[in-house]
Amino acid sequence: DWTMGAYREQAVRAIRDQVGDGKVICALSGGVDSSVAAVLIHEAIGDQLTCVFVDHGLLRKNEAEEVVGMFRDHMNLPLIHADEADLFLNALEGVSDPEIKRKTIGGLFIDVFEKYAKEIGGADFLAQGTLYPDVIESVSFSGGPSVTIKSHHNVGGLPEKMGMKLVEPLRELFKDEVRALGRELGLPDRFIGRHPFPGPGLAIRCPGAITREKLDILREADAIYIDQIRKHGLYDDIWQAFVALLPVRTVGVMGDGRTYDYACALRAVGSVDGMTADYYPFTHDFLGETATRIINNVRGINRVTYDITSKPPGTIEWE
């Protein structure tokens, strides 16, 4: 892509000018925005960049291995894998209120990020994958009346607290341009096309109190569901799809025996920007086949439902 090739060169120069010989840290989530930002900055300043991948134990099946494998081992980014699952899961024990979950995770995320930033001797800059729509939104919403539906987590207050400046090389781009830039930088298509994944991770897809057992069950079911969607060629047509594990056990029958296991809900939506969404019109065949695969292969689930709520009045995530 000619345009993106030119943008890439210009952005690399701008990053070098801004950063000089300073140090930059970046919270790499594995999402498209932070990934493209990290790879671009790495191209500009090499090992002056350190990425921190905070693993809160609320990731999907194989996610940590895939992200770390790709960035550290394949793309040679200096990357710290902060394996802090125990810290987060212990703090979340017994917590069932969605906002308390979000605030607990968001607060610990900042603590952990700060800890690793200090460990590498601090940094002069914090890199963020802020996009143009984020810039506009925060301007047009400031001062106006607003209702917080869900508190999103980010590393907001950290730059001032730690005396860091921001590096935001994607500030002029829309999502589709970030994807094009990512391709230009050599990120695999499969990675660039990934569905969004929320910062609090599986915690908000597991209504009620979280346990390690529930998370394991959820991860298995979700992996099968996404595999089904890919196999049927539907992945790119869907904005976001996931399984929510319900805090309800139901009676079932398997062979000659009675089962008493969890119910889950499949969620899939079409959307342009995540602000509004319609539930995805899967065929009954697809839904039936997926339910059978999940129940036959995931220990702990004996009932599958499909969530047909649009947004509004629902939200995309369950919490």
Binding site for ligand XMP (CB under 6 A): 150, 152-153, 196, 198-200, 240, 274, 311, 315-317
What is the signed CA dihedral for 264, 154, 151, 35, rounded to 10 degrees? -40
Q: Closest distance between ligand XMP and the C-beta of residue 219, in Å?
A: 17
Say if residue 107 carries a ligand binding annotation: no
Give the count of beta carbons closer than 10 Å to the beta carbon of residue 135: 14
Say if residue 29 carries a ligand binding annotation: yes
Nearer to ligand XMP, 182 or 199 (CB): 199
Say if residue 46 carries a ligand binding annotation: no
Strand-pair partners of 305? 265
Q: Closest distance between ligand XMP and the C-beta of residue 284, in Å?
A: 26
Say if residue 31 carries a ligand binding annotation: yes
Nearer to ligand XMP, 18 or 271 (CB): 271
Q: Closest distance between ligand XMP and the C-beta of residue 265, in Å?
A: 14
Nearer to ligand XMP, 69 or 274 (CB): 274
Give the count of beta carbons closer than 10 Å to the beta carbon of residue 272: 9
Q: Closest distance between ligand XMP and the C-beta of residue 201, in Å?
A: 9
Nearer to ligand XMP, 255 or 313 (CB): 313
Q: Closest distance between ligand XMP and the C-beta of residue 101, in Å?
A: 10
Question: Looking only at Cα atoms, what is the longest distance across the chain?
Answer: 71
Say if residue 35 carries a ligand binding annotation: yes
Distance separating alpha carbons of residues 232 and 210, to the nearest angstrom = 31
CA distances to 249, 252, 293, 295, 301 from 259, rounded to whole Å, are 9, 5, 17, 11, 9
Under DSSP, the state recorded for 213 is H
Nearer to ligand XMP, 33 or 261 (CB): 33
Residue list, annotated binding site for ATP:
29-35
